[in-house]
Structure 1
């Protein structure tokens, strides 16, 4: 079966139009013929039909998402396989990605940022209690509805407790601009990594730029490990700055212990801030949801899952000058880490060559001349970085 407009999956989901295409899959707007409502359907690309490693990825996403019941997480309705093509049918959310809002407005107010932070952390707490780590928290995976609600989407590279590894040992998966330092060094993804990534998102909302950048994805990942967090704008209150700084601690043990703690701190700060000039007032003892949909283009509707490698525009800004940190043996820490990463990437390249010669491709496919393949992929399109360590 080749997915096309009018195709019906499993006799239930009629494909109406393609929303996004990526290296591994496509996302379609579809009609659920049983419920007569519209859904988002993520379908494996035809060229990967029947390939077990891709089927396993879809199955893992389904397992991790199906047990998450929270208004801040897009619901998974059904998953299945037709003629070797795995698919996921999900809630179609009427909303705008935070990444689009930031492109449109540049920065958000403290109240808006705290609202998004609180709701996102509440949703993450539910995932983490279910022992699911998202691994790809970023503005593009946070949807904002016209009613002021936040929805987390795309559990495509999430990992669950006891889940058998789909990727090679030591592989780092995520988006370089939001990659926790410990994952950049090849350590396993944990809930504390999601908290770090959400801290990067909050920083970006207030500063209008990400805290770390570089000439390529490896440089950006390295900056997360070695660079000092640039100071937030002076107008950011001390309490909010402290929360974000805590979330961005290099040592995971120094971050808030749970996403629930982040949500409570954000709620407390928002409660205290709502009476300040430029912030939304409290009404009837309840905090009003942020009106981030003002000036939003009409007719915007986002799928609940973005296809892998979906293009996203990244703002450009001046790279922070590197700081040299001496290690115990006198060798600058940045140099030591750079050498280590260089060895890792060399090993990855050898692995890629071997896999390519063997005809394997883990996240394969080509988009605009950038081939996402095997064990390492660094792109300038969406910042996704994969490497073997």
Structure 2
């Protein structure tokens, strides 16, 4: 095929290699005068129809991502009956070649390489693509020092529209590389974005230790060890590596995906801080990653570490959620205070039921009663509007944080975190379902799997339903329940039979507000705990300064 012209413009120059997923040729784009790589599906595709599906997935997956740390797809087509992909030509060496010989890497170089891989995963996961095969042979080290992640042949999709356009993952046999892949992707669950983070931890372990964390005489032994055993501590093989690096690897290699860091952005931020400290300790940083888009994580990397005692390390979402939680607390206190004052006023009025007044005194008392009732109702409306605004902002924010913690696993779009409260009858169901999803996404893993006890969420929702269903009594002009009786010389007033529901409903606001505050506090704390990372002081202490 040397010299063949593909799609009328790609001239094949030489074959670079051949493997189970096809053969790759160096080629020249005659139109744009650039070097490219052309990948062909093997001739024996009819004997293995699954290869066609994987070839299609590679094209679709690569097309979703535009990032300097990911190989670029230029075109896809058919030539002489053969499927082909035209990709960016990557001149460099594979990470496998760099690791040949089993010599452990220096810390700064290993962190730089893995940070570049992680930047590619951030881009992929934002595009709803899971690589599923992060390993040294799928990482290229190019001449300008950057890292390129290649081969999305077994990628998965978390975006429904993309997933439906190609063969679903369930239709393909489990795939991956046992030495580096997460245990769940070889089982029925198949894994998700956190499976890529496990593989990232395996690569970092291998770079620093000279071997993968799990080895064995055959693949079955490796898989059984991954399922049954915790990963060996890096310190056993590299005691000179700072403890926070070993801690990050241990978290990435957790068997339970819920106990790993939940997003590639969080891991990238931790790697960047470790790179910075390594540079301060005398090792040159080896930044092979690029995050060209503005994001909360990259903004956090540009800011100094927070003051001592605040270990959120630039997690803007956590700090912002915390401020919004404080706003909700304040709005709840004001709303409950006005409700209590209203209940006191209503009870005071009830205490004088049947008392006869002269007509002048009765009129003055009536004017004072209605003026104070109108003032309290106006204050209640203002406080209620403020509470609704603070609540919707907080609820939308925790839903956004939950999306980071469990990408693609929440049932409704982010806009429903606000709109769901205003849909008639739907607001009896939708907010609770969103709250359930957020709770499970935000909950730290507990012994035996699952999430933290959810009783507080159910209690809060019951309080919300009671409050919602009694609103007609809460917001109605309650002075209408006061019945006046006029005599010749004196006047008096009585109360409607349902009047006593009014102070009861207003007093119930206090426990409902307390339960809501506890729920907000618990949810905010869970998300903060999930997003927290090792404090930089600990890492600095572990790295001797020169």
TM-score by length of 2: 0.49
Shift of 1:170: 7.5
Per the alignment, in what secondary structure is the counterpart of residue 70 of structure 1? coil
- Partner of 2:134 in structure 1? 137
CA distance 1:170–1:225, change in 2 (3 Å): farther
Misfit runs of 4+, over 3 Å: 49-56, 164-170, 287-290
Unaligned runs of 5+ in 1: 281-286, 291-327, 329-389
Structure 2 runs not aligned, ≥5 long: 289-447, 449-546
> Aligned runs of 1:79-94 on 2, under 5 Å?
79-94=76-91
Q: Which residue of 2 aligns with 1:76?
A: 73
Q: Tell me by how many angstroms 1:187 deviates.
A: 1.4
Give the secondary-structure state (helix, strand or coil) at the position aligned to 1:274.
helix
CA RMSD of the aligned region, Å?
2.1
| Contact preservation (8 Å) 2:58, 2:152 | yes
The counterpart of 1:41, out of the listed 24, 38, 45, is: 38
Whether 2:236 is the aligned partner of 1:230: answer no
Tell me the secondary structure at the aligned position of residue 27 of structure 2: strand
Q: 2:192 aligns with which of 183, 190, 193?
A: 190
8 A Cα contact 1:179 1:224, kept in partner: no
C-alpha distance in structure 1 between counterparts of 2:168 and 2:181, whole Å:
19
Among 262, 267, 280, the alignment partner of 2:267 is 262
Aligned to 2:217: 215
1:274 is aligned to 279
Q: How does 1:39-188 map to 2 (within 5 A)?
A: 39-48=36-45, 53-103=50-100, 106-161=103-158, 162=160, 163=163, 164-165=166-167, 169=171, 171-188=173-190
Q: Which has the higher strand share?
A: 1
Matched residues in 2 for 1:259 and 1:245: separation? Answer: 15
> How far apart are residue 140 of structure 1 and its match?
0.7
Cα distance in structure 1, aligned partners of 2:221 and 2:245: 28
Higher helix share: 2
Residues 275 and 286, structure 2, Cα contact 8 Å, conserved in 1? no
Aligned pair count reads 281
Q: Greater RCO between the two (CA within 8 Å, min separation 6)? A: 1
**Shift of residue 168 of structure 1?**
5.8
How far has the Cα of 1:56 moved from its partner? 3.2
Q: Does 1:19 align with 2:16?
A: yes
Helix, strand or coil at the partner of 2:189: coil
C-alpha distance 288-140 of structure 1, shift in aligned 2 (>3 A): closer
Larger Rg: 2
The question of 1:31 aligning with 2:23 is answered: no
